[in-house]
Chain A
Amino acid sequence: MIERLRRWLAAPCLALALAGCAGPQIFHPQLSALDKGLSKTQAVSRLGLPPLSTHAASAGGRAFEFDRYRMNNGVHTDLYLLAYERDRLVFWGYVSEFRRQPDADLSLALTIALREMAAMAKP
């Protein structure tokens, strides 16, 4: 019986341990606290977590700054970004959400920032 119980508990414990190893993460309910126009300081304060890294990128003559986070979706973590223009939060989401939003400059700047993130991740 104890062996069965141990087996039942092994999977959730392993999942918890793996999630714990993934580093600082944000969770979906935290996103409701974000509003367009927040300064970076305000957004970080509302999330209660600083970004893992920040990446500047320009497109169409506009300068953006992308804060990189990991979003815990309950199973694993995904790349999640907050985008600022002149220190004002303009958009936040998964990469796919950035691709769907109508600001083409923002989408292009994200492509540049993602390239930089990929380059930084290489050993």
Chain B
Amino acid sequence: MRRSRAALVVVAAAALAAACATTVPLQRAQIGALAKETPPGDVERILDKATVVAQTEIVANDRPYLARHYRLLTGTRQEMTMVCTPTCIPIFVTVPVTSDYVVIQRMPAKELHAWGTLEELSKDSDTAVSSIMPIVKARLEEAKKKP
């Protein structure tokens, strides 16, 4: 009885923590719906429910861009907590695993320029993408530090 109560407390705490989480990660299905020719309105609709972690407007190679930083859900992992009351039982909680993900649009029309992880875009074979990444990364880091 005591064991099941302890388990319930941990499960309830995990559920509450999940409910309070403010960052909604991008899903693979969302980025799978993006294409170079996707109209700006559709891009907004596709990304709508995901949380923008940071965003910045930059000028690189004499062109203005909007870069938005998301978290991409790449999987889950199980975390174990031992609850002893006094009998010890392991409680497993599923925790999301995410990666940094960036969507870059050409301004002012907001045409989709590039999307991917920081690593993917930094080594993109298209120099129009890889050449702007140093400034995108620096500016996103600055934006994340702002309160």
Residues of A within 8 A of B (CB): 1, 4-5, 8, 28, 31-32, 34-36, 91-93, 101-103
Determine the residue in chain B with the shortest Cβ distance to A32: B118
List of A residues within 8 angstroms of B123 by Cβ: 34, 36, 91-93, 101
Q: Does B39 contact A (CB under 8 A)?
A: no
A8 touches B119 (CB 8 A): no
In-complex Cβ contact of A36 among B87, B90, B130 (8 A): B130
Contacts A8-B80, A32-B118, A32-B137 supplied; 17 other A-B pairs, CB < 8 Å? A1-B88, A4-B88, A5-B82, A5-B88, A8-B90, A28-B119, A31-B122, A32-B117, A34-B119, A34-B123, A35-B122, A35-B130, A36-B123, A36-B127, A36-B133, A92-B123, A93-B123
Q: What is the CA–CA distance of A64 and B52 in the complex, to the nearest angstrom?
A: 39
List of A residues within 8 angstroms of B111 by Cβ: none
Q: What is the CA–CA distance of A29 and B40 in the complex, to the nearest angstrom?
A: 30
A34 touches B87 (CB 8 A): no
Given A32-B100, A101-B125, are A1 and B87 neighbors across the interface (CB < 8 Å)? yes
List of A residues within 8 angstroms of B99 by Cβ: 28
Q: What is the CA–CA distance of A28 and B75 in the complex, to the nearest angstrom?
A: 15
- Decide if the interface of chain B is mainly helix, strand, loop or mixed: mixed
Q: Does B96 contact A (CB under 8 A)?
A: no
Q: Does B64 contact A (CB under 8 A)?
A: no
List of A residues within 8 angstroms of B80 by Cβ: 8
List 3 A-B pairs, minimum CB-CB distance, nearest first: A32-B118, A31-B119, A36-B130
Determine the residue in chain B with the shortest Cβ distance to A101: B125
Closest approach, in angstroms, between the C-beta of A60 and any C-beta of chain B? 16
Q: What is the CA–CA distance of A119 and B76 in the complex, to the nearest angstrom?
A: 39
Closest approach, in angstroms, between the C-beta of B100 and any C-beta of chain A? 6
List of A residues within 8 angstroms of B119 by Cβ: 28, 31-32, 34
Q: What is the CA–CA distance of A91 and B134 in the complex, to the nearest angstrom?
A: 15
Q: What is the CA–CA distance of A1 and B90 in the complex, to the nearest angstrom?
A: 11
A35 touches B134 (CB 8 A): yes
List of B residues within 8 angstroms of A92 by Cβ: 123
Determine the residue in chain B with the shortest Cβ distance to A93: B123
Determine the residue in chain A with the shortest Cβ distance to B137: A32
Q: What is the CA–CA distance of A101 and B126 in the complex, to the nearest angstrom?
A: 11
Q: What is the CA–CA distance of A28 and B117 in the complex, to the nearest angstrom?
A: 11
22 residue pairs bridging A and B, Cβ less than 8 Å apart: A1-B87, A1-B88, A5-B82, A5-B88, A8-B80, A8-B90, A28-B99, A31-B118, A31-B122, A32-B100, A32-B117, A32-B137, A34-B119, A34-B122, A35-B134, A35-B137, A36-B127, A36-B133, A92-B123, A93-B123, A101-B123, A103-B125
